[in-house]
Chains A and B, each alone.
Chain A
């Protein structure tokens, strides 16, 4: 008679006879879509506590208010055109847009890492790579909404006030295309910072420095370069901030006049390439960060 093997230390899982789940299972795409919608809602505080709705909606209200006022002046005074360009509007409100992106990125990227609830997401059939990309996509959508709402108000209000649809549509579409690019860059940068700096305030201040302070420096350098007539420095300097990339391309497309330097066709292509590179780099680093964190 052989001796029974010594019981191994640790617990044993008994099969108590509970029925397993045999029904239909949703695909990973469905999980990703649900996460996208939830994150988009959370970026505006929907589905969260009342206090977390205050900040995004106050910022959105301040963002939309000037657009409403402008439409009002057009309709009451009867101006022949809007007092701003569609692409120039978010640029003149860049402080608000940057603040929104910087303040809401930690909501989507920091909290799951800080409280380690990321393991609950990754226990689902959702890879850490998809998780990172979906979070980025929803922050992009949130920032895009933030800039697109006042733009649509300007466009729709302008048309209702009797502006010519043929003249207004092209700059409006150009502005929206640029905003997609801008939102992708802002979401990439702030998301990356928020996934590294888990303390809330720290991430916000770091994002603000990267987004607002750097663009201030770029503008000063560009102004000096213009004065000294060395335009190449001004053009190169513009590559260092998402805002100057946005404004530079908008200027060369004839969609706004808020850029200091005039870009040639080659430089415009260079700016667009730089925007794509920025987004791609941020995404690669984000995926690397979440792959590392998810593996722990």
Chain B
């Protein structure tokens, strides 16, 4: 963990237009939940919004934006060579950048899911979704950082993973839950509230989340260690 690199990554994240998108979208989601709760007075539609929109879309999108913002632009314009030429362990570089993306994902992504849950009715169910958001947000941010270090198309591949694999195929084939970060997080949240889905075993959910997070972090550092600058396609 190198505080200078983390500070620079934070500035890259905060100083750009994409941060507006990063914050505006969760705020909209919470506002919509509030509106629906107030207007209909029903809990079910609001909870649908927390689960279907907040947890399955807002959280991964925030993670993708945050993870690709701390690494992507530097790789895109090639200025990462100035960072990589410093005598700092590449794994430290990766971890420092991840900490920033991770904190942002938890604060903005999991935070907004929790807030929407409180608006929708609070209680155990909100806490359950918040814990699910913390677990899944951690894994998502590590995975997407590794993708950013691997390829320029990290955002598209990340979106395809979330939307096609976890969303489209996850809805059709129940077995996808065993390889779905979102479902692992939801399983951990299920311990707090029975209303969350219970797709896989708890040890698997925790173990897989930890393994993927650590492996992705190591992989991101390893990619930076043997980094090759290539042209734009």
Contact = CB atoms under 8 A, between A and B. Distances in A.
A114 B32 CA distance: 35
Contacts of A228: 40
A223 B164 contact: no
A78 B153 CA distance: 43
> Most B CB atoms within 10 A — which of A103, A197, A201, A217?
A201
B156 A55 contact: yes
B208 interface: no
A204 B21 contact: no
Nearest to A59: B160
B164 A201 contact: no
B53 A220 contact: yes
**Size band of the A side of the interface?**
20 to 34
A216 B57 contact: yes
Contact of A199 (B40, B76, B233): B76
Q: Which secondary structure dominates chain B's binding surface?
A: helix
Contacts of A99: 156, 159-160, 163-164
B142 interface: no
A34 B70 CA distance: 39
A241 to B, nearest CB: 14
Contact of A209 (B32, B48, B61): B61
Given A52-B233, A224-B36, A228-B40, A208 B45 contact: no
Contact of B155 (A51, A201, A223): A201
B142 to A, nearest CB: 18
Contact of B57 (A51, A204, A212): A212
Given A48-B233, A201-B155, A202-B17, 5 more contacts: A96-B168, A213-B61, A216-B52, A220-B36, A228-B40
Interface of A: 48-49, 51-52, 55, 59, 62, 93, 95-96, 99, 102-103, 111, 115, 197, 199-202, 204-206, 208-209, 212-213, 216-217, 220-221, 223-224, 228
